[in-house]
């Protein structure tokens, strides 16, 4: 029987599904240290991960490994050049989290614009003694301009929500989307600079790559309106968190909402010292139905890629399908 490593705690019923096909080494505890992850992967044919880094050294230490199934849409934890060189398949879990992530992005943007976390902390600390006309004045969302950086599936889901708020939608993307999609979403393509200058609320939903590292840094923050908000539900590293802290302290922008961070789960400690930022622990897809769908799709990918189950040989979401059917290099 083929052996797999499930590197993170996931739903026990998904583990039982996998046990129908494989000898399963399941880590049901803390995140594995790099050396332990590599050691436990050494004799495995496949793995199910959730952000664990997999590069050339890890692949070289696991000569039987044929597939790594990531329980996420993003796969910046995979060195795809190494995967391709070794003929190892990578898979991910797109689509099943689009709407939940867009819901959360909207909620985080709203909380940021209306200073919900800041005012709640103030109330809990016992400071509320009277109503004041200028208490926690935020910025309007209805009728404002929404700037979406990254117009993929989740970006488009955000744009659909903007219709109910009578917002002007502008977007920037690596490539312009089809005219029919622009028309459906009433969205206008603009340069990144124009988006930052015009948007009242900027939401980041682009994938993390070397090219997108620090897409938002000091220079970009300086282009934004002092009344604008920035929301990041994409990946840490897309925003220069240190530059963002400086901008928030200096009130160069009004506020920020962050679900992802550089070097997470660690984060820049200075973020904890500025009041005009809403911080959440990478939970944009965290509804039970969505996380179950992600876990089951990751399992489907793994089962099919290892040549068993009803979709044997045809995993639903290959990242590098060109290696399918090739012998491990």
Range of the domain at 196: 98-279
Q: Is the dihedral of CA 207, 211, 214, 216 positive or negative?
A: negative
Are 298 and 161 in the same domain? no
pLDDT digits (tens, 9 = 90+) for 251-262: 999 999 999 999
Q: Tell me the pLDDT band of 299, cut-offs 50, 70 and 90.
A: very high
For the chain, the domain total comes to: 2
> What six digits make up the tokens of 166?
């009578």
Are 116 and 196 in the same domain? yes
Are 43 and 125 in the same domain? no
Are 230 and 161 in the same domain? yes
User: What pLDDT is attached to residue 86?
Assistant: 97
Are 181 and 195 in the same domain? yes
Q: Is residue 36 part of a domain?
A: yes
Q: Is residue 329 part of a domain?
A: no
Residue 196's Cβ-count burial label (10 Å; 0-12, 13-18, 19+) is buried
Please state the rounded mean pLDDT for residues 175-188: 97
Are 34 and 76 in the same domain? yes
Are 307 and 230 in the same domain? no
Q: Which pTM does this prediction carry?
A: 0.93
* Catalytic residue IDs: 235, 264, 282
Are 91 and 122 in the same domain? no
Are 268 and 311 in the same domain? no
Sheet holding 3-6, edge to edge: 23-26, 3-6, 46-49, 67-70, 89-91
Percent above pLDDT 90 for the chain: 96
Are 89 and 142 in the same domain? no
User: What pLDDT is attached to residue 329?
Assistant: 80
Please state the rounded mean pLDDT for residues 45-64: 96
> What six digits make up the tokens of 110?
């709203």
Are 103 and 231 in the same domain? yes
Contact in structure between 201 and 231 (CB atoms under 8 Å): yes
User: What pLDDT is attached to residue 214?
Assistant: 97
Q: Is residue 54 part of a domain?
A: yes
pLDDT digits (tens, 9 = 90+) for 133-146: 999 999 999 999 99
Please state the rounded mean pLDDT for residues 225-233: 98
Which residue, of 279, 296, 314, is where some domain finishes?
279
User: What pLDDT is attached to residue 212?
Assistant: 95
Q: Is residue 240 part of a domain?
A: yes
Q: Tell me the pLDDT band of 284, cut-offs 50, 70 and 90.
A: very high
Among residues 35, 274, 31, the alpha carbon closest in space to that of 6 is found at 31
Please state the rounded mean pLDDT for residues 176-185: 97
- Residue 25 belongs to a domain with what CATH number? 3.40.50.720
Please state the rounded mean pLDDT for residues 166-174: 97
CA 55 to CA 53: how far, in whole Å? 6
pLDDT at 9 > cutoff 90: yes
User: What pLDDT is attached to residue 141?
Assistant: 98
Q: Is residue 44 part of a domain?
A: yes
CA angle 41, 262, 210 (to 5 degrees): 75
Q: Is residue 118 part of a domain?
A: yes
Are 115 and 136 in the same domain? yes
DSSP secondary structure code for residue 216 in this structure: B
Q: Is residue 328 part of a domain?
A: no
């Amino acid at each position: 029987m083929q052996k797999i490593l499930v590197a993170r705690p996931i739903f026990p019923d998904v583990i039982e599904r996998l046990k129908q096909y494989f000898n399963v080494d399941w880590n049901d505890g803390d995140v594995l240290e790099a050396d332990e992850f590599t050691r436990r992967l050494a004799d495995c044919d496949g793995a199910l991960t959730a952000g664990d880094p997999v590069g050339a050294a890890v692949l070289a230490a696991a000569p039987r490994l044929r597939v790594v199934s990531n329980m996420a849409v993003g796969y910046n934890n995979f060195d795809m050049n190494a995967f391709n060189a070794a003929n190892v398949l990578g898979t991910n879990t797109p689509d099943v989290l689009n709407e939940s992530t867009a819901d959360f992005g909207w909620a985080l943007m709203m909380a940021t614009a209306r200073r919900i976390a800041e005012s709640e902390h103030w109330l809990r600390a016992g400071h509320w003694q009277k109503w004041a006309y200028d208490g926690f004045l935020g910025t309007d969302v209805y009728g404002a301009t929404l700037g979406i950086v990254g117009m993929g599936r989740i970006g488009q889901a955000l744009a659909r929500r903007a219709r109910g708020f009578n917002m002007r939608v502008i977007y920037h993307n690596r490539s312009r989307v089809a005219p029919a999609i622009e028309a459906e979403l009433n969205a206008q393509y603009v340069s990144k600079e124009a988006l930052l200058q015009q948007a009242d609320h900027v939401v980041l939903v682009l994938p993390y790559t070397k090219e997108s590292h620090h897409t938002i840094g000091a220079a970009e923050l300086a282009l934004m309106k002092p009344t604008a908000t920035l929301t990041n539900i994409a990946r840490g590293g897309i925003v220069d968190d240190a530059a963002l802290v400086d901008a928030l302290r200096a009130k160069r922008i009004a506020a920020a909402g962050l679900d992802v961070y550089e070097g997470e789960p660690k984060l820049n400690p200075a973020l904890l010292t500025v009041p005009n930022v809403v911080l959440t622990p990478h939970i944009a897809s965290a509804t039970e139905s969505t996380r179950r769908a992600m876990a089951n799709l990751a399992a489907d990918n793994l089962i099919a890629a290892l040549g068993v189950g009803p979709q044997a040989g045809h995993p639903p979401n290959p990242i590098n399908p060109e290696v399918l059917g090739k012998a491990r290099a």
